[in-house]
A and B are shown apart, each in its own frame.
Chain A
Amino acid sequence: MITYFLCLVLFSIGLFCAVRKRNIIKIIIGIGIMEYAVNLFFILIGYRAQGRSPILARDQAITNIVDPLPQAVALTAIVIGLAVMLMLVALAIRIYERYGTFDITKINRLKE
Chain B
Amino acid sequence: MNHQSEKGMTFIVKTVTKLTLGFILLYGIYITFNGHDAPGGGFAGGVIVALALVHVMLAFGKEASLKLLSARTLRLFMATAAILFLYGIFKGYPKAIFGNEFILPLSEMIIVSVGLFVIFIALVLVPKSDKRSE
Contacts and interface: CB of A to CB of B under 8 A. Distances in A.
The answer to whether A and B touch in the complex, with CB atoms under 8 Å apart, is yes
Interface of A: 75, 79, 86-87, 89-90, 93, 97
Q: How large is the interface on B (under 10, 10 to 19, 20 to 34, 35 or more residues)?
A: under 10
Contacts of A93: 123, 126
A89 B124 CA distance: 12
Contacts of A87: 133
B43 A86 contact: no
B16 to A, nearest CB: 29
A97 B126 CA distance: 10
Nearest to A86: B119
A89 B43 contact: no
A77 to B, nearest CB: 13
Contacts of B127: 97
Contacts of A97: 127
Contacts of A75: 43
